[in-house]
Amino acid sequence: MTDWSSAGFATRAIHAGQDPEPRTGAVTVPVYQTSTFAQTAVGQHRGWEYGRSGNPTRDALETALASLEGGAHGLAFSSGLAAGDAVLRTLEPGDHVLLANDVYGGTYRQFARVHEPWGLAFDPVDLADFAAVEAAWRPETRMVWIETPTNPLMNVFDIAALAEVAHRRGALAVVDNTFATPYLQQPLLLGADVVVHSTTKYLGGHSDVVGGALVTSNERLADQVRFLQNAVGAVPGPWDAWLVLRGLKTLAARMRVHCDNAHEVVAALSELDAVRQVLWPGLEDHAGHEVAERQMRDYGGMVSFRVATEAAAVRACARFEVFTLAESLGGVESLVEHPGRMTHLSVAGSPLEVPGDLVRLSVGIEDVDDLIADLRKAIA
Ligand SMILES: *Cc1c(COP(=O)(O)O)cnc(C)c1O
């Protein structure tokens, strides 16, 4: 396998773990659509024995992801939530986790309704408020779960500072890097221990696959999670691994357009009277702007905004034509959604409830003039 570690990001996205196939020279990693692998003698195999424990297409994806995040080990899962679940299963009953107080609704639901009933304690905290972080810390706190920028309120947290606090107290810092992608932000290089992804979003990039992954350089945790990958079995099939791998190849090119389009969409939104507030870390008046400037390459393609009322937000969501009204994000096509009634319905009534007047955009890579005309029409 060629060593691409000194190559640039876009080069690694296309080549790391993706050498031409040795037997035929196929330039693209094949989809190894097989559940089992022939052994030459009892117990003697060529590195793969059964599809749950490993598959060459999945290996290629894991190698590429590890390279892009600057970590030693990549581990692919069947969804982002399955990857997060594997990380939390490395903890024990009685352990405590500090969770960002604005996260993907499904992450909160997993903490509250799956892991807490099994004995894991957690507290949502504003991770931008260090006094609050110190105050919420318990002797049994083992992990800080960071998501930045957050879904859907676009809060930004200081990864290096939080990793430092966690390490000083003997805990691990985990970052859900789904919104930023490794193109914009590399948490492991900022001191975090684990990066979690929903590869369903920007990494896959085409709204055609559900997947997840984590990357870490922590050997012990990597061993534990690799064991869980096989022992629990929430692994991606070869086709799904291949689709994410194909998406990765264009990640750098796509992210540049997502970011450029978001800059223009934000400028257009800011001029509309019906828009009360635009939430995007690239804005100078955004509370996390300075941290974002330090830890991100650009500000990403996710933009949220608030209008006068919940009714106005719901009405606007249904009036878009270029933006598709749908959950999810990070694909080439622009999407619009109402977090309160769609992606974040599961946090209604919880401390993470999101405002009803909020609209979330996933700004795609279409011609930006078409996106802006659509926005103006829908929100006018
Ligand atoms: C979508 C999402 C997840 C969950 O990923 P799935 O692939 O849907 O399981 C986790 N975190 C964030 C930030 C997300 O946007």
User: Phi/psi at 121 (nearest 5 deg)?
Assistant: -95, 150
SS3 content of the chain, % helix, strand, coil (to 5): 35, 15, 45
The whole-number pLDDT of residue 1 equals 87
Q: Give me the chain's average pLDDT, please.
A: 97
The residue ranges of the chain whose pLDDT is under 50 are none
125, 100 in Cβ contact below 8 A? yes
71 Cα: distance to centroid of ligand 1 (angstroms)? 21
45 Cα: distance to centroid of ligand 1 (angstroms)? 35
Q: Give the span between the Cα atoms of 275 and 298, in whole angstroms.
A: 23
- Would you say the CB of residue 212 lies under 6 angstroms from ligand 1? yes
- Would you say the CB of residue 137 lies under 6 angstroms from ligand 1? no
Give, for ligand 1, the residue of 201, 328, 346 to mutate: max count of ligand atoms closer than 8 Å to Cβ: 201
350 Cα: distance to centroid of ligand 1 (angstroms)? 19
Angle of CA points 292, 295, 298, to nearest 5°: 60
- Would you say the CB of residue 200 lies under 6 angstroms from ligand 1? yes
Please, is 367 exposed, middle or buried when counting C-beta atoms within 10 Å of its C-beta (0-12, 13-18, 19+)?
A: exposed
- Would you say the CB of residue 335 lies under 6 angstroms from ligand 1? no
**β 194-198/212-216 pair status:** antiparallel
DSSP structure class, residue 103: -
Residue nearest to atom 4 of ligand 1 (CA): 80
159, 173 in Cβ contact below 8 A? yes
* H-type alpha helices, the chain: 9-15, 56-69, 80-88, 105-110, 130-136, 159-168, 181-184, 219-232, 238-249, 251-270, 289-295, 310-317, 368-379
Whole-prediction pTM value? 0.97
Give, for ligand 1, the residue of 79, 114, 198 to mutate: max count of ligand atoms closer than 8 Å to Cβ: 198
Q: Give the span between the Cα atoms of 185 and 166, in whole angstroms.
A: 19
Q: Which residues are catalytic?
A: 52, 104, 176, 201
Place of tokens 């297409």: 57
- Would you say the CB of residue 177 lies under 6 angstroms from ligand 1? no
